[in-house]
Amino acid sequence: MPLPIENVDTDQIIPARFLKAVERKGFGDNLFRDWRYTSGNTPNPDFVMNKPEYSGTILVGGKNFGSGSSREHAAWAIYDGGFKVVVSSFFADIFKGNALNNGLLPVQVSPEFLEEIFSTIEKDPKSTFTVDLENQTITNDVTGNGFEFEINQYKKECLLNGYDDIDYLVAMKEEIEEFEIHPSTP
Amino acid sequence: MKTLFDKIWDAHVVKHVEDGPDVLYIDRHFIHEVTSPVAFLGLKKRGLKVFRPHQTTATPDHNVPTTNQHLSIVDELSRNQVDMLERNCVEHGITLHKLGTQGHGVVHIIGPEQGLTQPGMTIVCGDSHTSTHGAFGAVAFGIGTSEVEMVLASQCIMQPKPKKMRITINGELRPNVTAKDVVLYVIAKISTSGGTGHFIEFAGSAIENLSMEGRMTVCNMSIECGARGGMIAPNEKTFEYVKGREFAPKGADWDKAVANWKNLKSDKGAVFDKEYTFDAADIEPMITYGTNPGMGIKISEKIPTSEGLKGNDKVTFQKSLQYMGFSEGEEIAGKPVDYVFLGSCTNGRIEDFRTFASYVKGKKKADNIIAWLVPGSVAVEKQIQEEGLSEILEEAGFEIRQPGCSACLAMNPDKIPAGKYAVSTTNRNFEGRQGPGARTLLASPLVAAACAVTGKVSLP
């Protein structure tokens, strides 16, 4: 799904007025709400998600994707909207962390490779791309070109094995208590 | 040789995970109604209790109306979220500053006010503007809901250590140039992604000369250049501000704390990954013309053109101007304004109201302007009355509303209608931020006051 817009901010991914739920469900329906729907609440035919020729589980955005608020709802909305991977040439920090904590893989590629992805999709919306987390690669199946992306090794293992930071921290309780007894002075 | 950031961060690392993040101990945790409910739900699913309830403080701010706060919240979803925060706080023994109580206000305003924010601390909140607290020489940053759950469960989060940046602004600010102009200028210079991956230390004589309120405004918007957070080394002004506040150390503890806080500065020769230096004299009153906070110009300047931009850069720029209803190369001064909003965690403190009031004193609000003046907290609201600012403002045709996030983010009844122009003292001018179709021009309280009086974009 190509979204060749830069600085896609969290208010576009999910506007604040849809953050009122107290459970984590239904956020996918409001993903890109104000771009996806007209002010009359009908689908905007010009928005890429409403064009039948585009589909897939990889969202491709312009540079500085996810800037703005810390709302994890942005990552939830993209994930609930059916995406497993977001590709951009640059991600905002908090968004990247939130995505990783929710099984949504942010893949940072070079500006050139991002351009190649966009132009491949423009030529044929049915083009496919393969993301291999184990080997940290994204491949353009049309051109055969690939890009090796970076990911923190700890986070990679969490994603591959379904580990969770909270389990890790709760298991550290004694070390944390010990730290509280003997804090360091900055 | 360490930076201020290194000193605080390193002292809070419980453990470094090999090839992974640091386990960082959190001194102070703030929560609000929007980003906490799913975290509490997560605790429940895991059968966990809050590990250190006394290190978390709660306040509902995003959803609350700013009129008739003694009545029940009308919007059902908003009311439910605010009620849920109360239920969670009661269940887990967390201090909550309920709507209508003395301690209530915007989360980043009440923390410093109550002395909960102190130099040398690690402070987090499920809100990107947690960077505000960095003004006290704390490492303070916004986190997501999964991380809120981590802090509730363990008083720690797992974070890769950011890189370090220093932004030095030397010299004296010109008349009518405020902290807000400084930070809008910086963001315009380094862009909304210029700080990504970094923690910024703001330094230099222009920064040192800012009041604590001004420093909070600067650190507040460090997130708007992509940075993880911003901070300023504490000095006598900082200690003076903290002293005597409810949760500030007292007696011998105070002396000991201040002695420690005096070491909180970057060592001479400490190395930053990136450095910028600006001259205070180059800064003028600023305003934004586009749909991200980096699209700021001096009010005396013209809106830039797309000349020289290519590809997506050009498309994004043109889309932005189209949304705003502006044309390339035209003057921003004199553009019509419909709404003026004074408030938010960026500019909802007492100094902001003093500035606004001093400008409009003896003048009148323009007839075409709808103005919302929203104090950041009950304490600010009270101070406005005690200092006689309310009379000045009322005489000039302004009314003061009740505390909350208000028109900053369109989650409560204060929304700017589609197509209308709002000169706003807030932090984000994203499409729809203040309401679907709303057009936001970010500016300082002083510029907002000038626009409110003339009814158009004006220099103070």
Judged against a pLDDT cut of 90, whether residue A39 lies above it is answered with no
At residue B312 the predicted structure's pLDDT band, cuts being 50, 70 and 90, is confident
Give the H/E segment covering residue B142: strand B139-142
B25 touches chain A (CB under 8 A): yes
Q: What is the pLDDT of residue B9?
A: 98
B229 domain-assigned: yes
B420 domain-assigned: yes
B8 touches chain A (CB under 8 A): yes
Distance from CA of A93 to the nearest CA of B (A): 6
Q: Are residues B293 and B271 in the same domain?
A: no
- What ipTM was estimated for this complex? 0.94
Residue B341 tokens read as 């909003």
CATH number for the domain including B356?
A: 3.30.499.10
Which of B122, B154, B260 to probe the A interface (max A CBs under 10 A)?
A: B154
| pLDDT tens string B184-201 | 999 999 999 999 999 999
Which of B46, B158, B161 to probe the A interface (max A CBs under 10 A)?
A: B158
Q: Are residues B308 and B277 in the same domain?
A: no
B153 domain-assigned: yes
Over range B330-347, report the average pLDDT.
Answer: 98
Q: What is the pLDDT of residue A15?
A: 93
Q: What is the pLDDT of residue A17?
A: 92
Q: Are residues B412 and B334 in the same domain?
A: yes
Judged against a pLDDT cut of 90, whether residue A186 lies above it is answered with no
pLDDT over 90, % of chain B = 98
B141, B159, B177: which is the final residue of a domain? Answer: B159
Chain A residues touching residue B150 (CB < 8 angstroms) = 165-166, 169
Query: Would you call B19 and A154 a contact, using CB atoms and an 8 Å cutoff?
Result: yes
B252 domain-assigned: no
Q: Are residues B124 and B176 in the same domain?
A: no
CATH number for the domain including B274?
A: 3.40.1060.10
Judged against a pLDDT cut of 90, whether residue A107 lies above it is answered with yes
Q: What is the pLDDT of residue A184?
A: 85
B246 domain-assigned: no
The values of phi and psi at residue B112, to 5°, are: -65, -40
| pLDDT tens string B278-306 | 999 999 999 999 999 999 999 999 999 99
Neighbours of B111 (CB within 10 A): 28
CA B141, chain centre distance (Å): 11
| Closest Cβ–Cβ partner in B12, B154, B197 for A93 | B197
B258 domain-assigned: no
Judged against a pLDDT cut of 90, whether residue A163 lies above it is answered with no
Over range B156-164, report the average pLDDT.
Answer: 96
Judged against a pLDDT cut of 90, whether residue B104 lies above it is answered with yes
Query: Would you call A170 and B154 a contact, using CB atoms and an 8 Å cutoff?
Result: yes
Q: Are residues B324 and B414 in the same domain?
A: yes
Q: Are residues B268 and B304 in the same domain?
A: no
Residue B9 tokens read as 């961060």
Q: Are residues B277 and B291 in the same domain?
A: no
At residue B273 the predicted structure's pLDDT band, cuts being 50, 70 and 90, is very high
At residue B311 the predicted structure's pLDDT band, cuts being 50, 70 and 90, is confident
Q: Are residues B292 and B435 in the same domain?
A: yes
Task: Starting at the earlier edge strand, list the strands of the sheet with A58-61.
Answer: A2-3, A58-61, A85-88, A105-108
B248 domain-assigned: no
Q: Are residues B225 and B298 in the same domain?
A: no
Which of B145, B200, B292 to probe the A interface (max A CBs under 10 A)?
A: B145
Domain that holds residue B190: 163-236+263-282
Query: Would you call A176 and B25 a contact, using CB atoms and an 8 Å cutoff?
Result: yes
Q: Are residues B307 and B276 in the same domain?
A: no
Triad A169, B161, A72: Cα angle to 5°? 65
Query: Would you call A39 and B436 a contact, using CB atoms and an 8 Å cutoff?
Result: yes
Q: Are residues B80 and B218 in the same domain?
A: no
Q: Quote the number of domains for chain B.
A: 3
For residue A171, the chain B residue with the least C-alpha distance is: B154
Distance from CA of A101 to the nearest CA of B (A): 7
Query: Would you call A63 and B312 a contact, using CB atoms and an 8 Å cutoff?
Result: yes
Residue B256: which residues within 8 A CB-CB, separation 6 or more? B249
Chain A residues touching residue B192 (CB < 8 angstroms) = 7, 64, 67
B242 domain-assigned: no
Q: Are residues B23 and B154 in the same domain?
A: yes
| pLDDT tens string B139-150 | 999 999 999 999
Judged against a pLDDT cut of 90, whether residue A164 lies above it is answered with no
Q: What is the pLDDT of residue A55?
A: 94
Distance from CA of A173 to the nearest CA of B (A): 7
Query: Would you call A16 and B411 a contact, using CB atoms and an 8 Å cutoff?
Result: yes
Residue burial A39-52, b: 16+ Cβ < 10 Å; e: rest: eeeeebeeebbeee
Residue B109 tokens read as 């305003």
Judged against a pLDDT cut of 90, whether residue A66 lies above it is answered with yes
Judged against a pLDDT cut of 90, whether residue B57 lies above it is answered with yes
